């Protein structure tokens, strides 16, 4: 039997995160989506942390890949992190079709790995119209932890 990278039978969806982490990640994904839908703006990558004193959002400027790396490094340096995620704009290819999408990669201070969620979007009216979300947010895959417990 073929298996995916995390040991699941090939083609089966990953186990979902806890309800608390799911709400945290979907809130960050909604915020990232709001950066591009309907305004057509490019969101800078940002990180969201949940710490004992509350939730904090930090934006990271620069080239997209490097800014994501900077955000991930910054998260690892923060104290008392309960949950964290990085959000960015990119592309998702499904069945050979590439679409614009926003992504959120995050984890909590539990024993598991992280999760990557996605929301695809397209122009509403031709190539110059406002953007609209395409479908619903989805769980793409499991990911490496963003911070040590």
Instruction: Calculate mean pLDDT across residues 42-69.
Output: 90
Interval 68-90: pLDDT, tens:
999 999 999 999 999 999 999 99
State what percent of residues in the chain have pLDDT above 90: 64
41 has a pLDDT exceeding 80: no
pLDDT at 71: 95
Residue 11 has pLDDT above 70, yes or no: no
Residue 93 pLDDT > 80 = yes
Mean pLDDT of 15-20: 87
**Which DSSP string corresponds to the chain?**
--B-TTSSBTTPPPPPPPHHHHHHHHHHHHHHHHHHTTT-PPPPPEEEEEETTEEEEEE--SSHHHHHHHHHHHHHH-SS-SEEEEEEEEEEEETTEEEEEEEEEEEESSSS-EEEEEEEEEESSGGGS-EEEEEEEEEEEEE--SS--
Give the mean pLDDT of 36-63: 85
| Average pLDDT over every residue of 2-6 | 47
- Say whether pLDDT at 46 is over 90: yes
Q: What pLDDT shows up at residue 126?
A: 67
Q: Where are the domains of the chain?
A: 19-143
């Amino acid at each position: 039997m073929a298996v995916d990278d995390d040991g699941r039978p090939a083609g089966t969806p990953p186990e979902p995160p806890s309800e608390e982490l799911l709400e945290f990640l979907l809130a960050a994904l909604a915020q990232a989506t709001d950066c591009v839908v309907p305004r057509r703006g490019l969101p800078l990558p940002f990180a969201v942390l949940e710490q004992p004193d509350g939730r904090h959002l930090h934006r990271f400027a620069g080239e997209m890949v490097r800014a994501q790396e900077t955000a991930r490094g910054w998260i690892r340096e923060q104290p008392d992190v309960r949950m964290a995620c990085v959000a960015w704009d990119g592309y998702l290819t499904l069945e050979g079709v590439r679409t614009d999408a926003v992504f959120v990669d995050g984890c909590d201070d539990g024993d598991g790995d992280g999760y990557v969620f996605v929301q695809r979007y397209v122009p509403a009216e031709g190539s110059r119209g406002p953007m609209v979300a395409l479908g619903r947010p989805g769980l793409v895959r499991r990911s490496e932890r963003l911070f040590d417990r």
